[in-house]
């Protein structure tokens, strides 16, 4: 599909946003596709209490493109590979965008299965859309975000959704976890998504994920699975220990998020700090 867009006009000189993390409630790896990706089924839930910080400022018109600086958790490798750059370049193919300067303060760790990089990319698209009054519809923004990465599309609407396909086909999910406490464990382990997919063996599920999610949260322990866990836990036994510790501390459900390494537990009451005997950073939030 060829998209034609008008020349943009600057509406705001600077804009600020807070790209948030997500967790996966269940993750089924169904089969490998002919395009090299995997067919999946998962529920993505935004975590609005855990965010990066992204600021975009109008640049000097005498210069071209996008300048990006990063603070906080610094990424490995060349900063030009950052998805914020790629989001700007993607829109620049269709619009005569003004130059911009971006600053990204990273709080969400990479390689944790929390979608931080994907959120940064999607929020870049959203900010540029508002900053330059591009009037791109949600549907088109979602389609553009999917070009940047499988999880990116989710963060355009940023609401609970069942994701299928390679993760870009989204269906709203009416899930109620209000009042639960979520404890997020953040071990200093970087699990690359590509490596995790190489380890996993796809399989079909007996019960559709949407049906499992209708069950009481107390039943999820035996029904709601993340297909990455058995393989990633073999590589990193510490993650299995963290999950078991969360259950021992009273979690009604615990799981690895995405391909890891973050592990979360859902609690009906705030867990007692002394009951969480794990040697990594944790973050507690109420949903």
Residues designated catalytic: 22, 151
Which is more confident, 258 or 60?
Answer: 258
pLDDT band, residue 273 (cuts 50/70/90) = confident
pTM of the model: 0.92
* Cβ 131 vs Cβ 12: under 8 Å: yes
> Per-residue pLDDT tens for 41-84?
999 999 999 999 999 998 877 677 899 999 999 877 788 789 99
pLDDT band, residue 13 (cuts 50/70/90) = confident
SS3 call for 178: coil
- Distance between CA atoms of 29 and 39, rounded to whole angstroms? 6
Closest CA to 110 of 229, 259, 266, 255: 259
Residue 163 exposed, middle or buried by CB count within 10 Å (0-12, 13-18, 19+): buried
> Per-residue pLDDT tens for 143-160?
999 999 989 999 999 999
- Distance between CA atoms of 17 and 23, rounded to whole angstroms? 20
What does pLDDT average to over the chain? Answer: 92
Closest CA to 87 of 51, 46, 131: 131
Q: How far is CA 54 from CA 101, 104, 112, 123, 191, in A?
A: 11, 5, 19, 8, 24
Peptide bond into 261 cis (omega under 30): yes
pLDDT band, residue 132 (cuts 50/70/90) = very high
Quote the pLDDT of residue 70.
Answer: 94
Domains parsed from the chain with CATH numbers: 14-172 (3.30.230.10), 181-286 (3.30.70.890)
8 pLDDT more than 70: no
Quote the pLDDT of residue 78.
Answer: 80
7 pLDDT more than 60: no
Work out the average pLDDT over 201-223.
93
Tokens of 116: 């931080």
- Distance between CA atoms of 125 and 87, rounded to whole angstroms? 6
Work out the average pLDDT over 77-98.
89
Q: Which helix (H) or strand (E) holds 32?
A: strand 20-32
- Distance between CA atoms of 123 and 96, rounded to whole angstroms? 19
């Amino acid at each position: 599909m060829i998209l034609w867009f008008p020349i943009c006009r600057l509406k705001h000189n600077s804009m600020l946003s807070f790209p948030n993390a997500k967790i996966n409630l269940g993750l089924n790896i169904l089969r490998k596709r002919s395009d090299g990706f995997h067919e999946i089924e998962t529920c993505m839930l935004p975590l609005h209490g855990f965010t990066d910080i992204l600021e975009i400022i109008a640049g000097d018109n005498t210069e071209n493109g996008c300048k990006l600086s990063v603070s906080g958790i610094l990424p490995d490798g060349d900063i030009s590979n950052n998805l914020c750059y790629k989001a700007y370049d993607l829109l620049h193919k269709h619009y005569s965008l003004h130059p911009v300067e971006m600053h990204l303060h990273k709080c969400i760790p990479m390689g944790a299965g929390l979608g931080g990089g994907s959120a940064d990319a999607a929020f870049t698209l959203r900010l540029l859309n508002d900053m330059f009054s591009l009037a791109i519809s949600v549907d088109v923004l979602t389609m553009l975000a999917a070009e940047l990465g499988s999880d990116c599309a989710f963060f355009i609407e940023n609401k609970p959704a069942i994701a299928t396909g390679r993760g870009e086909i989204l269906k709203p999910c009416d899930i109620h976890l209000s009042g639960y406490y979520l404890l997020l464990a953040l071990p200093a382990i970087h699990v690359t998504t590509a490596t995790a997919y190489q380890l996993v063996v796809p399989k079909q599920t007996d019960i559709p994920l949407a049906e499992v999610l209708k069950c009481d949260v107390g039943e999820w322990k035996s029904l709601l699975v993340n297909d990455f866990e058995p393989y990633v836990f073999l590589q990193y036994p510490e993650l299995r220990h963290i999950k078991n510790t969360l259950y021992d501390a009273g979690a009604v459900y615990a799981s690895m998020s995405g391909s890891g390494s973050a592990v979360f537990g859902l609690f009906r009451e705030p867990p007692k700090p002394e009951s969480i005997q794990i040697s990594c950073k944790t973050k507690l939030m109420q949903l």
